[in-house]
Amino acid sequence: MKKIKLTCAYAIVKHLIAQKILIDGKKEPLFAGAFGIFGHGNVACLGQALEENKDKLPTWRGHHEQNMALTGIAYARAKRRKQIFVATSSVGPGSTNMITSAAVAMSNRLPILFLPGDTYANRIPDPVLQQVEHFNNPGITANDAFKPVTKYFDRISRPEQILQSLPQAIQTMLDPADCGPACISMSQDVQGEVFEYPEEFFKERVHNIRRPKPDDYQIKEAVEKIKKSKNPIIISGGGVFYSDAMEELSSFSIKHNIPVTQTVMGYSTMKRDHSHFLGPIGGLGGKAANNFAKQTDLAIAIGTKLGDFTTGSWSNFENPNFGLVSINVTRFDANKHMAQSVIGDAKVSLIELSQALGNWKAPDDWHKKSRKELKSWNEYVDKESGPTNQKLPSYAHAVGAIYRNSEATDIAVTAAGGLVGEVVQVWRPRELNTHETEWGFSCMGYEISGALGIKMANPKKDVIVFVGDGSYLLNNSDIYSSVITNNKLIIVVCDNGGHAVINRLQLFKGGKEFNCLFESSKNSNLVGINFAQHASSMGAKSEEVSSISELEEAFKRAKKSEITYVISIKTHSYQWLDGSAYWESPTLEIPKTKENEEALKLHKEGKAKQRQGV
């Protein structure tokens, strides 16, 4: 076998470049690029290998390790897991800064390849700069913190180890059932060490994501369960995106006459004008979907892990005869909550399940009722998000102003906080793939960094970021990244004086306002923040507006801009769209106040409705 003598760092880069993938029948690079912040753990060896191959594996400079990895994760989501980014950092704090991002990818089942620098395998210089020592185990380094938040982890202590490890990491990230982040922890000295690698390791390999077929018996059992149902609903999750099963979802719902609700991560898998669209479900959902959830005798969950915000902490299904069919490519998710599992790819499973159901349809009265429920809820949302002269507009007013003036193809981006729930209600999708969020880990600070990745994946579309002042203060440096890389974003900063949604929860649980809003924090010299000026200092165009009408005009200017445009508006701290589902959160069992007593009462009422044995 012919061999090539290379350093370990060069071999890694060469192998990554050789990986290709079929997207719509066209061969593309599997690894779209790399993000890097260089330091003594990765600059001399891996950094030089990336520099010499920058035309084949473009490397982008990051401003914070967490941010750059979030951008790579969002890119992978927008590409529906068909392309992957690399994120590399120096040893020590550079590496640990990426741990939160790894957890985001892990929670959301998204691929990213982490290549953090590590200590010396030979241990002669120990302790090296930025090394965290464990006195009873010298084999432990700070990078071991990646283990709980990655699907694949290996520490490279010899250059030949990548022959086995790197292909396994890649297959893990491409596996639809086991997809998630991978971490190859790179000992500093090993990166520069030489090995004679087999030429075969660098030959082009074309990947194609597999579509596992469901078991015939599971299809049969699911069909029997569905045919007994009188009032079924569908819960469409993010897995419908990754399977590219939107058309099959549409056909299935029409043929079998079943209303379709959507999780936050599965939002825009169906258009708002679809005959069977019922809107978002759960803690962030609308009354139309949640009212039907409370009545349904069967939920068909497709590509969702059924998190507590989707299920109302499992109190949202009040029908005593409620049953669950769960279609998921991942065995772990499909078998949750006493479901009749159908383990397989969403697209293939929907086709086979529909064929097995034949001409069976849910009662038409159930479908007609869903149209009335949705019409009523849409009227409420339109009213609450419509034009207003209110001195401090609500989140819904701000989102509504942008929505009314946006194009159908514009992509809305949110993450964490109160804006997710308001956006998912108001931004009813006029086109598929026009709503992106991060709700699996609900990571504050994802908004701008994530939007950058989504824009990189969708360069011809406008990407609109809705971010609160709290998240903006936490993470805003990728405004500068978007400017210098010519990836225009439109960023709407809703300034409501702090972490208002947590203040809302604090009050709901009977507590007093404390440390969430700026006004209730221990600060004697509060200074108003001019977010527009701050964004302008990073090269963005920006303006501060004081009314909804001004916001609409500013958005029109933002649409015409060729560079990132930031609009700041002060919004109401206490005004929200109506909630319609219970969500379990800690409640004092020994109430201190009347407000605590009321919170405990509501908590117990919700707990009493929870489905047991899940």
Tokens representing 494 are 């809703």
The residue type of 193 is E
Is the domain of 196 the same as that of 237?
Answer: no
pLDDT at 55 over 80: yes
Please report which confidence band the pLDDT of residue 19 belongs to, taking 50, 70 and 90 as the band edges. very high
pLDDT at 585 over 80: yes
Within 8 A by CB and 6+ apart from 556, the residues are: 405
Report how far residue 338's alpha carbon sits from residue 336's, in angstroms, rounded to the nearest whole number.
Answer: 6
Give 80's Cβ-side CA count (13 Å radius).
Answer: 19
Q: Mean of the per-residue pLDDT values for the chain?
A: 97
Is the domain of 202 the same as that of 236?
Answer: no
For residue 487, the SS3 value is coil
The residue type of 552 is E
Report how far residue 215's alpha carbon sits from residue 496's, in angstroms, rounded to the nearest whole number.
Answer: 51
Report how far residue 535's alpha carbon sits from residue 512's, in angstroms, rounded to the nearest whole number.
Answer: 34
Report how far residue 544's alpha carbon sits from residue 532's, in angstroms, rounded to the nearest whole number.
Answer: 6
Is the domain of 360 the same as that of 399?
Answer: no
Is the domain of 472 the same as that of 396?
Answer: yes
Is the domain of 401 the same as that of 522?
Answer: yes
The structural domain count of the chain equals 3
Task: Report the pLDDT averaged over residues 201-222.
Answer: 98
DSSP3 helix / strand / coil % (the chain, rounded to 5): 40, 20, 40
Tokens representing 271 are 């258009």
> Is residue 335 a contact partner of residue 341, using CB atoms and an 8 Å limit?
yes
Is the domain of 150 the same as that of 221?
Answer: no
Nearest in space to 293 (alpha carbons), one of 303, 307, 304, 283: 283
> Is residue 322 a contact partner of residue 185, using CB atoms and an 8 Å limit?
no
Task: Report the pLDDT averaged over residues 322-326.
Answer: 97
Task: Report the pLDDT averaged over residues 598-603.
Answer: 96
pLDDT at 614 over 60: no
pLDDT at 534 over 90: yes
Tokens representing 362 are 């849910």
CATH of the domain at 529: 3.40.50.970
Residue 158 lies in a domain: yes
Q: Which of 376, 395, 412 is a domain's end point?
A: 376
For residue 242, the SS3 value is helix
φ, ψ for residue 340, nearest 5 deg: -80, 105
Is the domain of 490 the same as that of 365?
Answer: no
Residue 610 lies in a domain: no
Residue 582 lies in a domain: no
Residue 584 lies in a domain: no
Please report which confidence band the pLDDT of residue 91 belongs to, taking 50, 70 and 90 as the band edges. very high
Is the domain of 169 the same as that of 295?
Answer: no
Within 8 A by CB and 6+ apart from 129, the residues are: 40, 91, 92
pLDDT at 244 over 90: yes
- The long-range contacts involving 132-141, CB below 8 angstroms and separated by at least 24 positions, are 132/92, 141/185
Is the domain of 408 the same as that of 325?
Answer: no
Residue 106 lies in a domain: yes
pLDDT at 613 over 70: no
Residue 521 lies in a domain: yes
> Is residue 18 a contact partner of residue 205, using CB atoms and an 8 Å limit?
yes
The residue type of 527 is V
CATH of the domain at 347: 3.40.50.1220
Is the domain of 181 the same as that of 48?
Answer: yes
- Amino acid 430: pLDDT: 98
Percent of the chain whose predicted confidence (pLDDT) is above 90: 98
Is the domain of 293 the same as that of 391?
Answer: no
- Amino acid 216: pLDDT: 98
CA dihedral 277, 337, 589, 606 (to 10 degrees): 30
Is the domain of 177 the same as that of 76?
Answer: yes
Residue 300 lies in a domain: yes
The residue type of 283 is G
Kindly report the length of the chain: 614
Domain that holds residue 37: 3-207
Residue 605 lies in a domain: no
pLDDT tens, residue by residue, 483-511: 999 999 999 999 999 999 999 999 999 99
Q: Which of 353, 376, 399 is a domain's end point?
A: 376
